[in-house]
């Protein structure tokens, strides 16, 4: 369920790092708890983001939740598909429904995040 090549936050985001770029999303646990997602608010390309700070929000029929960035960096790409099809976040949160891609400024931050095994223990899965 939780891929080993992702790192996880206590706020239920994940990041996958490939050659200096981090892809950020929310976890399957997060989408399950939120319920049907109806709107996703993402930062602008070029925005500077800091680890642990809000970069946007996810709205479900139940609640609006902030998205906290697992890493610091500059936003280089956002997932436009989610504007038209927010339901993809319920269907494929660890894959096609990634949120933003970030050029990392502090790659060592990754070490502060949880492994897949630790995250599953954390959520009691």
Partner 1 sequence: MPGKTRQHISQNEPLLFEISSPGKRGYQLPDLDVPQVDPAEALGAANARQEIEHFPEVSELEIIRHFTRLSTWNYAIDLGMFPLGSCTMKYNPRVNEQVARTEGLLWAHPYQPASVSQGAMEIMSQLESALAEITGMDAVTLEPAAGAHGELTGVLLIRALLEHRGKARKKIIIPDSAHGTNPATAAMVGYSVTNLKSNAEGTIDLAELARLVDDETAALMVTNPNTVGIFEKDIVKATEIMHSKGALVYMDGANMNALVGLARPGDFGIDVMHLNLHKTFSTPHGGGGPGSGAVAVKKHLEPFLPVPRLKRVKDMFEFDYDRPLSIGKVRAFYGNYGVLIRALAYIMAHGGPGLRVATLDALLNANYIRKGLENHYDMPFTSPSMHECVFSHDRQEAKGVRTGDIAKRLIDYGFHPYTVSFPMIVHGAIMIEPTETEGKQELDLFIQAMIDIANEIDTSPKLVLDAPHCTRTPRVDEVGAARKPVLRWKP
For partner 1, the binding residues (CB under 8 A) are 36, 38-39, 59, 61-63, 86-87
Least Å distance between CB 54 and partner 1?
10
Residue 2 and residue 28 in contact, taking contact as beta carbons nearer than 8 Å = yes
**92/31 Cα distance (integer angstroms):** 10
- With respect to partner 1, which residue has the nearer C-beta, 22 or 86? 86
Least Å distance between CB 82 and partner 1?
12
Least Å distance between CB 16 and partner 1?
27
- What is the three-class DSSP state of 121? helix
**Four-CA torsion 26, 32, 36, 40, nearest 10 degrees:** -10
Check residue 110 and report its DSSP letter: G
Nearest to 58 by CA among 35, 76, 78: 35
- With respect to partner 1, which residue has the nearer C-beta, 70 or 86? 86
**33/11 Cα distance (integer angstroms):** 12
- With respect to partner 1, which residue has the nearer C-beta, 110 or 123? 123
Least Å distance between CB 76 and partner 1?
27
- With respect to partner 1, which residue has the nearer C-beta, 90 or 120? 90
């Amino acid at each position: 369920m939780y891929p080993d090549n992702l790192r996880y936050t206590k706020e239920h985001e994940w990041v996958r790092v490939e050659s200096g770029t981090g892809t950020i999303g929310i976890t399957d646990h997060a989408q399950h708890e939120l319920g049907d997602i109806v709107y996703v608010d993402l930062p602008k390309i070029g925005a500077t983001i800091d680890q642990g700070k809000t970069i946007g929000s996810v709205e479900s029929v139940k609640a609006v939740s902030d998205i906290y960035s697992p890493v610091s960096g500059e936003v280089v790409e956002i997932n436009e598909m989610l504007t038209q099809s927010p339901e993809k976040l319920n269907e494929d949160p660890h894959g096609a429904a990634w949120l933003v891609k970030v050029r990392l400024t502090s790659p060592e931050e990754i070490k502060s995040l949880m492994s897949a095994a630790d995250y599953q223990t954390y959520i009691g899965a």
